[in-house]
Amino acid sequence: MEWQIESLAALPHYSQKLLENFPERRVFAFTGEVGAGKTTFIQNICKHLGVTQVVSSPTFALVNEYIYTEALSGETRSAYHLDLYRLRSIEEALDIGVEDYLYSDNYCFVEWPEIVEPLLPEDTLRIHFEMLSDSQRKMLIL
């Protein structure tokens, strides 16, 4: 599946569309070059979920946890945002407890997932961003 995102203003639509098209998925693996829009897209997904905290890239913390309330159940849930860019090995990922996040049954948004590819759940939704221009992106859902 391929979506072309024409502008930043379109991101809320596409983040909602992604969650609606894949309601059972909980782990999302985002790839694409630096500046392709991975973090910005995750910010929009979190906003759609109802996260009120500031959503930022966990480049140095590696993992950020955001809290939101599920609209239907009223249950408080966590969403995890992982940025694995700085990791050098799968062992480092295991040391930070990456499997606990990936298999928590909470939303888990992973930037730079290549290092943990063997650990990703079978039903992980893989999303690749390509820059078309300063404001346009191609989003490939694999």
We report the CATH number of the domain holding residue 40 as 3.40.50.300
Task: Look at residue 15 in the predicted model and tell me its pLDDT.
Answer: 96
User: 139 lies in a domain?
Assistant: no
User: 82 lies in a domain?
Assistant: yes
Distance from the first to the final alpha carbon of the chain: 7
Give the position of tokens 């990791």: 87
Task: Look at residue 141 in the predicted model and tell me its pLDDT.
Answer: 96
Q: How many Cβ atoms are within 10 Å of 64's Cβ, its own excluded?
A: 20
Distance CA 55, CA 101 (A): 17
User: 5 lies in a domain?
Assistant: no
What does pLDDT average to in each consecutive run of 10 residues of the chain (142 residues)?
93 95 97 93 96 86 94 92 95 96 97 97 97 91 93
User: 20 lies in a domain?
Assistant: no
User: 128 lies in a domain?
Assistant: yes
User: 103 lies in a domain?
Assistant: yes
Residue 89 is part of which domain span? Answer: 25-133
- Structural domain count of the chain: 1
User: 11 lies in a domain?
Assistant: no
User: 110 lies in a domain?
Assistant: yes
CA-based nearest residue to 14, from 140, 113, 108, 131:
140
